[in-house]
Chain A
Amino acid sequence: MSEHKEHNHPQEKVGVYVCHCGSNIAGTINCGEVSEWAKDNPHVEVSRDYEFMCASTGQELIEKDIQEKGLTRVVVASCSPHMHEKTFREATERGGLNPFLFEMANIREHGSWATNDKKAATQKAKALVNAAIDRVVHHQPLEKIPVEINPSTMVVGGGIAGITAALDLADAGHHVYLVEREGTIGGHMAQIDKTFPTLDCSACILTPKMVEAGQHDNITLLSYSEVEQVDGYIGNFQVKVRKKARCVVEEDCTSCGICEEKCPVQVIDEGYGAGLGHRKAIYRAFPQAVPGYPVLDKENCIYFQTGKCRACEKFCPTHAIDFDQEDEILNVDVGNIILATGYELFDARKIPQYGYGRLENVFSSLEFERMINASGPTGGHVVLRDGKTEPESVAIIHCVGSRDKNYNEYCSKVCCMYSLKFAHLVHEHIPGAEVYNYYIDMRTPGKGYEEFYNRLLKEGTHFVRGKVASISEADYLPGEEGKLIIQSENTLLGKQQRKPVDMVILSAGMDPQPDAEEIGQLFKAGCGNDGFFSERHPKLAPVATMTDGIFIAGACQGPKDIPESVAQGGAAASAVAKLIGQGTVMMEPIRASVREEECSGCRICNTMCPYNAIEFDEEKEVSRVITALCQGCGTCVAACPSGVIDGAHFTNTQVLSEINGILWDVQTEHEKATA
């Protein structure tokens, strides 16, 4: 009829397969009726319904029909394409058809599972099947696009997960850039004294790994550095890394530590020292820091405030101090990126009724980790805030900020175990001390964890099952003077309870890093509602993200203990090693392309692409899509005012036909004719 309906109706032979999925679909949708009904669509050559299409027998049906009935298109009405699109594309290919001449109708997740109304579900299934048929007839054969994988990898975050991933890949012979924001790698694990349940000394098991990472020929360690920009796509990332100036010339520095000794400035160490210890203006976080070069803190350095002092420069034997050192921007090309940026301890100051920051003898768990550590500010002695008095009674509060609607609803997995560890350490350091652990549910899920809990019971730790309501110095009863009074319920005794103690340790849970949102946007790895990075699939792909080539490992993906972080570090490394091993990766051919002869050069599309995959040819005055960079979102296709950009596999004709097909039961005869 009208002149621009150029797409006529190619006469295709479509095979339709309606899956029962056991009772998942057949329980609500009348699969027989749908497959029968599909037969009177002019394009349909054969239409079947079958128990389990994803089973090998189901797939064989497709292959056989293609060969015997000469099908040119395949439609499978079953589950979500995110589940079995790959399976059925391969079946279509084995049958001899290009895998993209196939379309799925999601009648399970979007159909049978979403309603109990059998009639409506069947009607909706017919619509989705009809839409798929009307769409698939316009599908074109497409070939996946090979993309070379750059064998070098970037690991962001030098905690235990990042170190493990870097070492695994480096040992496999691949080059790794390990980027760490702080002056040294080690992460939170370096701050911990003992690890549960074996009471291994954390530094003893961590530092060898740090040294190995620091000296590995395949690892370029970029410490005191942050990623500023990420471009490109899987196999071909271009990353801008800002190597912050530490005012120390790394080549000349021998890590002798004299500069640290001579520096007159002493400030509270909010970073590694968790606010309990002190450090100099030029410092190494801890003796075993890797790399061993110190970092100059410009905010507190006298030279940078007043221009005087320069003590470190004077005493440095190898003249390695350079106050004028500039930040360096490095352009690093890598094939894959593993984010292992870790967590942040929940800030107990957010719970005023626990008094952290107001009541002297209330300590956070990291503060206690530093205190109990032999190289810590108190040389490992457990003392009150006055730095001298040993507490006779210590309360350890579990679930601070966790499992609580006002703060974090999730459980942080590790606090019960490290609270048990603290209880043991207090007994060990102060044999006579009374220790009270306030818990809601004792969670000891790991290997040897429950045994550790039983050991604590034998050591005479008092376990009070109840959420602590408040910690305050307001004494009512005799014997409460000068003490911290823990007001809580005791659900096992079924009554309120007040307990005066000398010292309180708040076992806070794990928060996502404060800048997780920005980091997520930088690397195109989204964050979930809890603020941690979202994995591609909670069960089957815990270390992959929605973006190909970007992986996550460790606490940045959610609260977890050291063994799990190490396991995820290894998993991410093996996922990357797999890609490197393959050498090339076949990318979905969903790309945009411009019909240049009809392009008017209006340049509307130029600002549509976040991947700079559209360039403007100045002489010919036409725009062009760089296929390699295009990620196939289709935003430019929808914006092009003369309709000369089309998106493979999501062409205008395909989607418009899908719309017509889906409205089969509300379309008038007139539309049907002109569709």
Chain B
Amino acid sequence: MKFSYYPGCSLERNARSYHQSTMAIAEPLGLEFDEVEDWNCCGATEYFAINKIPAYALVSRNLALAAGQNGSRELVAPCSACYINLKKTDHALAESPELRSKIDQALEAGDLAYQPGSLNVQHLLETIVKEVGYEAVEEQVTKPLYNLRVAPYYGCMVPRPSAMESFDDPEHPMSMDKLFETLGAIVVDFPLKAQCCGGHMTQISEETALEMIRRLLKNADDYGADMIATVCPMCQLNMDAYQDAVNQHFGTDYNIPVVYFTQLIGLAFGISPKELGFGSELISADAALAKVTEEPPKEKRRRRVKKNAGLPMPVMPEEG
């Protein structure tokens, strides 16, 4: 399956490992990425807050380039902010003709043009879960991540892409949870997996950002997570780089590595940690990775109804 690929600036610098691991797992997943030539920055979360029209123009240029490359109709963006901006722009152009006419003028200056709706913008997680599918992923698993307790962290943009439809439940997403179960890991279903990591709040009011990051770390820690896996370079940065700032500020001693979900997929496919960019994270993941065992954890025997075991829980649909 061929996809147009929009890496975005973070994947070339602080999120290098995200790019490396994505490229590493592409071949086993049967994904062929051809990068959008001469793409430019997507304005992340800041530019739209400052000035809408040039922000839309900036992103439209990427859409025009991708569409012009007449590769596949699917445009994949691993980073949540890029994904949101590309999807939001395509949607806005289709919705409002005046915006469209202004953007067309801007694009003409670089003799480009873009017909809204001609691209299907997808986040990398969506592509793996929907286009590749859990079975195809499971087939490639050679070294299951048995005994590793992973907290899947979605952030707020992927589950809730503003006005548009999300590919997963906006309040309680489960697609990455199922993905990690397929990889053999123990999935920690922690409640704040779709709450905001603060985004660029670290630049505007660090104290607020630190409180938001503390809540995520505390929640993951309360649920006994060995590590947090995320889908967005900014979330990774906030939880990884600011972890010791949180510890100093609140007198806590969290030591939870924050990695990319593609790195864990790579591990389960037997690819070496180095090749997947492990080591670039500030809070080292080595200790957590050491916990991975060869055999699966002992299967708890589901005894029949235990005596005074309290009241039965309602059966959830998938299990039931």
Contacts and interface: CB of A to CB of B under 8 A. Distances in A.
Interface string A356-378: 11101000100100010000011
B310 interface: yes
Given A349-B316, A352-B172, A357-B316, A385 B191 contact: no
Contacts of B218: 475-476
B311 interface: yes
B172 A349 contact: no
B270 to A, nearest CB: 33
A610 interface: no
A356 B222 CA distance: 20
A356 B171 CA distance: 14
B311 A276 contact: yes
B91 interface: no
Contacts of A352: 169, 171-172
Contacts of A267: 305
B164 to A, nearest CB: 15
Given A387-B310, A474-B192, A353 B316 contact: no
A386 interface: yes
Interface string B293-320: 0000000000001001111111111000
Contacts of A276: 311-312
B314 A474 contact: no
Nearest to A387: B310
A358 B189 contact: yes
A309 interface: no
A367 B310 CA distance: 14
B215 A476 contact: yes
Given A266-B305, A474-B190, A476-B215, A364 B169 contact: no
For chain B, what secondary structure do more than half of its interface residues adopt (helix, strand, loop), or is it mixed?
A: loop
A331 to B, nearest CB: 37
A364 B172 contact: no
A472 B215 CA distance: 13
A96 interface: no
A652 interface: no
Contacts of B215: 474, 476
Interface in A366-421: 367, 371, 377-378, 383-388
Contacts of B315: 275, 357
A593 to B, nearest CB: 54
B311 A385 contact: yes
B311 A357 contact: no
A276 B310 CA distance: 10
Given A352-B172, A353-B172, A275 B191 contact: no
A204 interface: no
Contacts of B311: 276, 367, 371, 377-378, 383, 385-387
Most chain A CB inside 10 Å of its own CB: which residue of B190, B191, B316, B317: B191
A388 B171 contact: no
Nearest to A269: B312
Nearest to B216: A474
A268 interface: yes
A386 B310 contact: yes
Contacts, number: 62
Contacts of B171: 351-353, 470
A349 B316 CA distance: 7
A360 B171 CA distance: 19
Interface in B184-213: 189-192, 195
A326 interface: no
Most chain A CB inside 10 Å of its own CB: which residue of B171, B218, B222: B171
Contacts of A298: none
Contact of B191 (A360, A364, A472): A472
Contacts of B255: none
Contacts of B40: none
Contact of B310 (A351, A357, A388, A476): A388
B219 interface: yes
Contacts of A349: 314, 316-317
A200 interface: no
Contacts of B192: 472, 474
Interface in A223-270: 266-268
A174 interface: no
A264 to B, nearest CB: 11
A473 interface: yes
A475 B310 CA distance: 24
Nearest to B194: A353
Contacts of A266: 305
Contacts of A367: 311, 314
Nearest to B214: A476
Interface in B141-166: none
A278 interface: yes
Contact of B316 (A358, A383, A384, A473): A358
Contacts of A475: 218, 222
Nearest to A389: B310
B191 A474 contact: yes
Interface string B58-99: 000000000000000000000000000000000000000000
Contacts of A472: 191-192
A387 B307 CA distance: 11
Contacts of B305: 266-268, 278
Nearest to A359: B191
Given A278-B305, A352-B172, A387-B308, A357 B313 contact: yes
B312 A268 contact: yes
Contact of A385 (B189, B219, B313, B317): B313
A80 B175 CA distance: 54
A276 B218 CA distance: 33
A356 B169 contact: no
A364 B313 contact: no
A268 B169 CA distance: 30
Interface in B222-243: 222
Contacts of B313: 357, 360, 385
Contacts of B189: 358
Given A358-B189, A360-B313, 13 more contacts: A267-B305, A268-B305, A278-B305, A349-B316, A353-B171, A357-B313, A357-B314, A371-B311, A387-B309, A387-B310, A472-B192, A474-B191, A474-B219
Interface of B: 169, 171-172, 189-192, 195, 215, 218-219, 222, 305, 308-317
19 contacts: A267-B305, A275-B312, A275-B315, A351-B171, A353-B172, A356-B314, A357-B314, A357-B316, A358-B316, A371-B311, A383-B311, A385-B310, A385-B311, A385-B313, A386-B310, A386-B311, A387-B308, A472-B191, A476-B218
Nearest first, the 8 closest Cβ-Cβ pairs linking A and B are A352-B172, A387-B310, A472-B191, A353-B171, A474-B191, A386-B310, A357-B314, A474-B219
Interface of A: 266-268, 275-276, 278, 349, 351-353, 356-358, 360, 364, 367, 371, 377-378, 383-388, 470, 472-476
